[in-house]
Structures are given as structure tokens and as C-alpha cells.
Amino acid sequence: MIAMNSPGAQADFNPTASEPGTGSASDSEIASHPETDALLDGELGNSLYRAQFVAWFRAVAPYVHAFKRKIFVVAVSGEAVVAGRLARICEDLALLRALGIRIVVVHGSRPQIEEQLAIRQVPSRFHNDLRITDTAALECAKEANGEIRLDIEAAFSQGLANTPMANADIKVMSGNFITARPLGVIDGVDFQHTGIVRKVSAEVIELALNARAVVLMSPLGFSPTGEAFNLDMEDVASSVASALHAEKLIFLTDGRGLVDADGELIRELSEVAAEKLMSEATLSEPMGFYLKHALRAIKNGVPRAHLVPFSLDGGALLEIFTHDGVGTMIADDDLEELREATIDDVASILKLIEPLENDGTLVKRGRTRIEREIDNFSVIEHDLRLFGCAALYPFPQERMGELACLTVDPEAQGMGDGEKLMKRIEQRARAIGIDKLFVLTTRTAHWFLKRGFTVATVDVLPKDRQRMYNWSRMSQILVKKI
Ligand SMILES: CC(C)(COP(=O)(O)OP(=O)(O)OC[C@H]1O[C@@H](n2cnc3c(N)ncnc32)[C@H](O)[C@@H]1OP(=O)(O)O)[C@@H](O)C(=O)NCCC(=O)NCCS
């Protein structure tokens, strides 16, 4: 049940913190104060750097353990190659492979095919945004794909000392792993050599992966009649991820990821929510196309699909190894079990929290207060039984919210429900313009620290909440920017 983007760790040193609006103060922010510069240049700076480095490295460990030997299919668009990102992307993928992740790279070639067509003065022909590949266009596709393939092989062959590729020694394997069939005639238009994936040679690809090779696939497939077909990178990536039962399908895209109607990045969405988004048809291309194929992979058993901006240096690493990621993650979990509470849930919530109220873990609330505040609660339910709850108390003036009463039934603890509830409260908070969550806890500080909260003092709380702070309880205060 745990979201695979979050196998339980949050870097204390947030590598994304220098991005606007993410994480807490980074070392670069501290260094921007002139009076600290001198200190940071000296012994203090060294020890701060060392401490952050070690903390960061250790924070990555749970992900490394979780993903060892798992298969990631990474789709690199032709646009990423044009933008000059290839060398860096390959360096990052080489690092993933060194960590034991089995990597399949699928590359795109749209701009490169366009370039070839222009050189040969062959007009581009599309119908319903799909390329019609006639014989001349197929020659251009072969040329373009061959060139990119060589560029990728060259990038994986780097090994200069003092670069991330030193000692990498990566072997790249490619082949006729895709059987394709023609797309055929649609609306009376013959797509000729434009094809779709019919079959993936999963067993052979796995042999190559088990030999520690990086498998490289072009958007070309072959039919039993010996014909070549021009395919969509997204179709190939999604089909390969499905056939290999990959852990992740990652599209390195030229956008930020999926955005909502206000232009805000959607960090995470369930399969159900993704389907709804598709049906609303508000997505602009190419995001709609990526989402369509991401969803197809999820339906075929790939647990997570990610849309990650290639323009962000190390985007794939940030998405995989940081708690909140940098793009959009689509998850197979049926998040419908997570919902807002109704008045009918009061008895179950009371049953859940009473033992914790009695042993002092939670502040006593009582039936009447929970009934009155039921709209603040979110709950998690399995098979009609309530297993967890959490509440959000907004302080709109300060744009802050309190995450309270987070509880998971002991029977269901350790399976990620606590984290799901926390994320739901974060979503609810964001939706009403809150940008900082805080929590008061006497026994669970470490759980929150691992999930991006930092220790704070009473004076950071909203004024009204400061007045209600129970000094005899001496709860720890933790804050997270969301
Ligand atoms: C805190 C709580 C909500 C977590 O729920 P959960 O569903 O078990 O959470 P997750 O599955 O996401 O996390 C499980 C991890 O948290 C760890 N964890 C659980 N309680 C912890 C605590 N008090 N301190 C630190 N870590 C804790 C578990 O050991 C497990 O670690 P792992 O990743 O190494 O396996 C649950 O333990 C609970 O109900 N505790 C009592 C109520 C409470 O203290 N609430 C917070 C005050 S508002």
C-alpha cells in the first residue's frame, strides 16, 4: 500500500531546496547571508557540508534497497536530445544501473525525423496528429533513429576520470525486440509504415538486463513479413514496461508534468483521477499522449508511471530519490479508499483514537467535538472498515494548517496508510491555499521528520494556536512547507 515514490524516507537535506517553493532552507540560502559566508568557508562550512552530505546519502538508502533489481523503463524524447540533455541523462541512468536498477531506455526521434524530412525536402504528413509514414518518411525515420542510437551508445560509453561516468563500463544492447503491425487505414487514410507494437520479446530483454546491459530501444518495430514500422516512443515504452512488469515507467518530457486548471503541477494522482483527467480532455499535447500511455502501463500492472521534466538537471534522480519528487507520479493504488469523513464515521474514529487518548499519545477530543469537527477529518477505509484518520485545522490568515489526530489502527500500521493520510491532508491544505503544515506531537516526531517536517518553536505557530499551546504537555512542534 505504500506509495513507491516514498518507501519511508525524506532527506533531511533536501536537494531540491534551492528550487523556488520547495523544501526548507538549503545550504545555498544560508550562504547568501554575507555574515555567514566567512564562517561557511571555514571549519563550520566543512562540517556542515559533511553532515548534510552524510544525511542526504543515508536518506537515499531506503530507495536504493527498495529498487534494487527492479526494472525501470525510461523514455527519452527526441526533444531532450535536441536540447543537449543526453549526456547528463545517460550519466544519471548509469548511476541508477550502478545501484542495481535494471534500465531499459526507449528513445524518441520526432524532431530528428522532421529534420531528415526537411533535408530531403519530403513533406511531413499527419492525420489526427499521427504521422503518415510513406516510404520516404520511413527512410528518414531509419536515418534519424540510427543517429540517435549511436549518440546514446556513445554517451553510455563515456568513462573519463573525474566525471560521473568514470569506471561505469556500461554495455548497451539493442535488437529486434519489438514485433509491430501496421496501424492500417483510419478514416480512409492509409498510414502505410506507421505501426503499433504487437509483441515485445520480454524474455530476451530480461536476459540482456540480467547480463547488466542497458537495453536501448528505438521506436521502430518489425513485422513477420520483414517490414519495418515507425512507432510512437510512448507506445514502445508503455508496451515494454508492461511486458517486463517494470516497477516504473518514466517519461522524460519537455513539460513540467501534468498541471491543473490553475497551472499548478499535479505531483501525484491515482489511476482513477488520471482517467478522469483524460476524459475531461483539458490536457494539451503532448501531456495527454504521455498520460494515455502511462495509464495503459498502469492498467497492465506497472505500479508507478512518472512524467519528469528533462530540462531539470538530475530530474529523474530527484523524482526517484526524493520524497515529493519533481514531476507527476501516476499510481495504481485505488486511492478511493481514502476519503473525507462523514458524520457516520464518528463512532469508528472514536474507537480508533480512544486508546491513544487514554495513553496520552493524542489529546482528548470526545464525541461532541469530533461530531462538530467531522468535516476536518479524512479517513482510510478497507472493506468497509475504518483503519485510519487524520484532521486538518486551517489557520487561513497565516496560510498555515495543523495536521492533527493522525492515527492508523495498530493492525494496519507500517503499510503506508499513515503516509497516505498525511498526503491527503497536504492535498486538502494546498487546495485551500495553505502553504505550511504543522503538527504537535509527543511521541511521533521521528515519523514526521522522516517525511519532510522540521523541528520548530512555539513562536512559529499561528497566534491563536500559540495561545492554546499546552505547556504541561510539552509537545514537539514540527513544520513542513507544502
Ligand atoms: C504514526 C502513525 C500514524 C504511522 O502510521 P503507519 O500507517 O504505520 O505509517 P507508515 O506505514 O507510513 O510508516 C511506517 C513507518 O513509520 C515508523 N513509525 C511508526 N511509528 C513511529 C514513531 N512513533 N516514530 C517514528 N517512526 C515510527 C514505522 O516503524 C515504520 O517504519 P518503516 O518504514 O521502517 O517500516 C501510526 O504509527 C500511529 O497511529 N501512531 C499512533 C498515533 C500517533 O502517534 N499519531 C501522531 C500524532 S498526531
Q: 180 near 221, Cβ under 8 Å?
A: yes
Give phi and psi for 54, each to the nearest 5.
-65, -45
Q: 274 near 330, Cβ under 8 Å?
A: yes
The minimum-distance atom of ligand 1 relative to the CA of 443 is: 23
The CB of 413 under 6 Å from ligand 1? The reply is yes
The minimum-distance atom of ligand 1 relative to the CA of 390 is: 48
* Mean pLDDT computed over 187-198: 95
Q: How many CB atoms within 10 Å of residue 29?
A: 12
Pick from 112, 27, 30: nearest CA to 77: 112
7-16, 207-216, 249-258, 420-429: range with lowest mean pLDDT: 7-16
* Mean pLDDT computed over 386-413: 94
Question: From its phi and psi, is residue 351 left (phi > 0), alpha (psi between -120 and 50) or beta?
Answer: alpha
pLDDT confidence tier of residue 196, bands split at 50, 70 and 90: very high
pLDDT score of 46: 81
C-alpha of residue 450 to centroid of ligand 1, in Å:
10
- The residue assigned the cell 496501424 is 183
7-21, 417-431, 452-466: range with lowest mean pLDDT: 7-21
The CB of 10 under 6 Å from ligand 1? The reply is no
pLDDT tens string 8-24: 333 323 333 333 233 33
C-alpha of residue 139 to centroid of ligand 1, in Å:
58
pLDDT confidence tier of residue 382, bands split at 50, 70 and 90: low
C-alpha span between 338 and 3 (Å, rounded): 13
| pLDDT higher than threshold 80 for residue 113 | yes
pLDDT confidence tier of residue 295, bands split at 50, 70 and 90: very high
- The residue assigned the cell 519528469 is 308
Q: Where are the beta strands (DSSP E) in 58-194?
A: 71-76, 102-107, 126-127, 130-131, 172-173, 178-182, 185-186, 189-190
C-alpha span between 478 and 308 (Å, rounded): 30
> How much is the pTM?
0.63
Mutational pocket test of ligand 1: of 444, 450, 470, the residue with most ligand atoms within 8 Å of the beta carbon:
444
Give the 3-state secondary structure percentages of the chain, helix then strand then coil, rounded to 5: 40, 25, 35
- The residue assigned the cell 540482456 is 208
The CB of 418 under 6 Å from ligand 1? The reply is yes
* Mean pLDDT computed over 290-307: 95
C-alpha span between 42 and 36 (Å, rounded): 10
C-alpha span between 294 and 282 (Å, rounded): 17
The CB of 447 under 6 Å from ligand 1? The reply is yes
Q: Give the residue whose CA is nearest to atom 41 of ligand 1.
A: 407
pLDDT confidence tier of residue 316, bands split at 50, 70 and 90: very high
More confident residue, 331 or 245: 245
pLDDT confidence tier of residue 384, bands split at 50, 70 and 90: low
More confident residue, 36 or 340: 340
C-alpha of residue 447 to centroid of ligand 1, in Å:
6
pLDDT score of 37: 60
Kindly report the average pLDDT of the chain as a whole number: 87
C-alpha span between 106 and 188 (Å, rounded): 31
C-alpha span between 268 and 338 (Å, rounded): 14
pLDDT score of 323: 66
Domains of the chain by range and CATH?
A: 27-334 (3.40.1160.10), 336-481 (3.40.630.30)
Q: Give the residue whose CA is nearest to atom 10 of ligand 1.
A: 416
pLDDT score of 34: 56
* Mean pLDDT computed over 152-172: 91
pLDDT confidence tier of residue 415, bands split at 50, 70 and 90: confident
The minimum-distance atom of ligand 1 relative to the CA of 415 is: 11
pLDDT score of 15: 32
The CB of 408 under 6 Å from ligand 1? The reply is yes
pLDDT confidence tier of residue 281, bands split at 50, 70 and 90: low
The CB of 402 under 6 Å from ligand 1? The reply is no
- The residue assigned the cell 515485445 is 200
Q: Give the residue whose CA is nearest to atom 40 of ligand 1.
A: 407
Pick from 461, 435, 416, 466: nearest CA to 24: 435
* Mean pLDDT computed over 371-383: 90
Q: How far apart are the first and last CA of the chain?
A: 22
The CB of 416 under 6 Å from ligand 1? The reply is yes
The CB of 409 under 6 Å from ligand 1? The reply is no
Q: What percent of the chain has pLDDT over 70?
A: 89
What residues have CB less than 8 Å from 6, skipping those under 6 apart? Answer: 323, 416, 419, 451
C-alpha of residue 370 to centroid of ligand 1, in Å:
22
| pLDDT higher than threshold 50 for residue 377 | yes
| pLDDT higher than threshold 70 for residue 176 | yes
SS3 (DSSP) at 371: helix
- Is residue 472 within a helix (H) or strand (E), and if so which, with residue range? none
